[in-house]
Chain A
Amino acid sequence: MTPLETLRVAVYALLRNKLRSFLTTLGMIIGVAAVIAMVAIGEGAKAQVEQSFASMGANLLVVQSGTTMAGGSRGGFGTLPTLTWEDLKAIQTEIPSVRYAAPVLRSNAQVLTEDQNWTTSVSGTTPEYFEIRSWSMASGTFFGQSEIDGGAKVVLLGQTVVDKLYGPYVDPVGQMVRIMNVPFQIVGVLAKKGQSPMGQDYDDAVFVPCTTFQAKIQGGLQKYLSGSIFVGAASSETTARAQAQIAELLRDRHHIQPGIDDDFSIRNLTEMASAQQEGTETMTTLLASIAAVSLLVGGIGIMNIMLVSVTERTREIGLRMAVGAKPRDILAQFLVEALALSFAGGLIGVGLGVMSAYRLALQFGWPTLVRPEIIVIAVGFSALVGVGFGLYPALKASRLDPINALRFE
C-alpha cells in the first residue's frame, strides 16, 4: 500500500470511532496546550526581565566613590568624593575594553514652567551617558560637547516629566523651564524608557550638561566628581575584564596599597541581569517539565487505546491478513493511526495553547511569548510520542496469526 493509502485507511478507521478517537486525542491536546501555554508564560517573563535589563543599559558598570567615616558611622558609597574628573578621563582613554564612560551627578530639584511644577531627579552628564543606556530622543537633539564646554543652560526632559508639566502629546522643545531658579531651554525630549528591574521610573528625570550641573545646581569641588561614573563595556564578554581593569587603574591612581580596601565601588549590572534571567529560565524549565509530564500521560493514553483497538479489531486484522495484508501493512496501519491521533492532538493543542496564552496575557496581564520553535518542538514531540507509544500495539497487531485472529471472539 502507498503511504497515502495507509493514511486514508487509518483516518477512516479513526472516524469510525469518533468519540473514542477524540477522547484519546484529548490527552495529547491538553498536554501540548499546557506545554505551549506554560512555555509562553515562562518566555514572556524572561523577555520582560531581559527587556528591563536592556533598558537599564547594555554591559553596564557603575563606579561610585568611597564612603565617609564620621565617629565610627560609615556613610555608604558615594558619600566621600574620591573619584576625580581625571579618573574619568583615565578610564575613558586607558582601558580599551571600555567603550563609553560618562559622569552622572544627581540631585532632586523642582522643575518649573509658567503654570506647573514637578520635583524630579536632575542629572548632570555627558552625551555618552545616553549611548551607554542606549537611550534615544523622541524629539529635539542631545546636547553636545560645545554645550558641555560652555556650561550651556540646556535641558533634556524624560517623558514622565513632559507629561506632568505639559501633558501628553505636547512637544515642549524650545520652551523654557526653571530649575533652582535658573532658566533652562528644553533642547530635547527623551524616548520612553520604562521601568528599572526594581520598578523605578526611568522617564521621571531631566538631564543637563555636567558642567552646568556643577555651576548652577549643585556647587561642588572642581577636582572631584561628586557622583558616579557610568561605564559601557565594549561587549558583555569584556564587562568583567573592564571591571577588573578599572579597579586596578583606580587603585593605582588613588595610590592604594595592597591589602587596603578600595575607596570606590564598581557594580556590574550585567551579572545581576544574568542572575535574574537564570531565575526565569528555571521557572520556564519547571513549567515546561510539568507540562511535558501531561504530554507523556497523553502518550500513554494513546498506547492504551491502541492496545484496546488492536484487541477489539483482531478479527479485522485477521481478515486483512487473509486477503493479502502483509505484516508490515498492518504495522504501518496501526502506527499511522497512533501517529494521526497524536499529530492531530498536537495541532489542536498548539491552537488551544496559543489561544490560552493570549487569554492569560489578556486576563491577568501576564506577559506571554509564543515562540515558533516551541510550536515546532511541541508538534514534533507529540508525533514522536505517537510513534513511541504506537509502536508496541502496532507490532502486536502485525504479529498476530491470521488463523487465530480470524477465530477470535
Chain B
Amino acid sequence: MTGNDSFIVLRQVGKIYRMGDVEVTALRDISLGIQEGEFVAVMGASGSGKSTLMNILGCLDRPTAGRYLLAGRDVSQMSRGELAAIRNRMLGFVFQSFNLLARTSAVDNVGLPLQYAGVSYRERHQRAEEALRQVGLADRLHHHPSQMSGGQQQRVAIARALVTKPRLILADEPTGNLDSRTSTEILALLQELWRSGLTVVMVTHELDIAEYASRVVMMKDGCILSDTRRQARVADAAVESATAEAVL
C-alpha cells in the first residue's frame, strides 16, 4: 500500500506545531499510498489532523518528520518557491469558502493560476473559458462572484483548479458551504473529474459526503484509524446529466 510506485507516498510523516513553549502533534507516523485515479475521502473530527494532512498533501506545508513523494519526487524538503511551482503545475485546490477574488470576473478568477505559469493573456483567457465550459458555466464567463450562487461559485473554483491541467485535485470540505442539492451537483462534478482520470482527495467530516469517494481514510488524533476501499455512491441528479454531457 505504501509502495514507491504509488502517485502519492507518505512515509512515517509527522507534523509538530510549536506554539510558544507548547508542542502540538498534529500528525504522527502517517504512512499512506494513493494510486493515480483514486477518489479518496479523508474523514475525521476537527483536531483529528485531516486538515494538516491535506496541507501537506497540497504542498502548502512541510512535514517535520518522514518523507512525502509526489509522483516520485521528494517534496518534503523543497523550498517555498519550489513548492509553489509544484502546486502550480501538479495540484488544483478547491476550498470550502471558494476563495474567489472579489470584483473579478469568472474568467479572470479561473485564469489566475496560469498567471503564475507564465501563460500569455490570450491563452489564459482561452483555457479559462474552456475550463468554465467544462464545469457548465459557459454562460457566466464575465460574472463576478457576487453575481453568482454558492454552487456556481464553487464551480468557478473547480474550473480554477482544473485550468492548469493538474494530476491531483485537493478539495477541502468542498460542500461545506452549500445546500444538499448543490452539494450533490458539486460531488457529481468531482466524480466526473475522477472518472476522467484525475486523482481526487477530499476532506470532509460528513459520512454521506464521503460515500461518494472510492476510498475512505478515517483519522483520529493524528493517526489513521481506518482505510477502506469501497464502491463509490454515484452522485445522481438529473441536473448533472447535462453537465456530464458537456464534459464528455
Residues of A within 8 A of B (CB): 1-2, 5, 8-9, 16, 315-316, 318-329, 402-403, 406
Contacts and interface: CB of A to CB of B under 8 A. Distances in A.
A55 to B, nearest CB: 61
Contact of A324 (B55, B101, B104, B117): B117
Interface of B: 55, 58, 60-61, 80-81, 84-85, 87-89, 93, 95, 99, 101, 103-104, 112-113, 115-118, 121, 160, 164
A327 B81 contact: yes
Contact of B160 (A316, A323, A328, A406): A323
Contacts of B95: 406
B115 A1 contact: yes
Given A322-B87, A406-B99, A328 B81 contact: yes
Given A323-B112, A324-B87, A325-B116, A16 B60 contact: no
B89 to A, nearest CB: 8
Interface-central residue, B60, B81, B88, B164, by most chain A CB under 10 Å: B60
B88 A324 contact: yes
Contact of A326 (B103, B112, B116): B116
Nearest to B55: A403
Contact of A322 (B58, B80, B81, B104): B58
A397 to B, nearest CB: 13
17 contacts: A1-B118, A8-B121, A318-B99, A319-B101, A321-B60, A322-B58, A322-B87, A323-B164, A324-B85, A324-B87, A325-B84, A325-B116, A326-B116, A329-B116, A403-B55, A406-B95, A406-B99
A9 B103 contact: no
B55 to A, nearest CB: 5
Contacts of A2: 118
Q: In the A-B complex, list the 3 residue pairs whose CB atoms are closest, starting with the nearest.
A: A324-B88, A323-B113, A324-B116
A323 B87 contact: yes
B208 to A, nearest CB: 25
Interface-central residue, A315, A326, A403, by most chain B CB under 10 Å: A326
Contacts of A403: 55, 60-61
Given A324-B85, A327-B80, A403-B60, A1 B101 contact: no
Contacts of B116: 1, 320, 323-326, 329
Contacts, number: 61
Contacts of A322: 58, 60, 87, 93, 99
Contacts of B58: 322
B115 A5 contact: yes
A17 to B, nearest CB: 9
A320 B118 CA distance: 14
Given A323-B164, A403-B61, 8 more contacts: A8-B121, A316-B101, A322-B58, A324-B84, A324-B85, A324-B116, A326-B116, A329-B116
B243 to A, nearest CB: 23
A325 B84 CA distance: 6
Contact of B115 (A9, A321, A327): A9
A358 to B, nearest CB: 40
Contacts of A406: 95, 99
A324 B113 contact: yes
Contacts of A8: 121
Contacts of A319: 99, 101, 112
Contact of A320 (B80, B81, B85, B112): B112
Contacts of B61: 403
Contacts of B164: 323-324
A321 B59 CA distance: 11
A289 to B, nearest CB: 41
A323 to B, nearest CB: 4
Contacts of A321: 60, 84
A118 B61 CA distance: 96
A322 B85 CA distance: 10
B172 to A, nearest CB: 9
A136 to B, nearest CB: 63
Interface-central residue, A318, A323, A402, by most chain B CB under 10 Å: A323
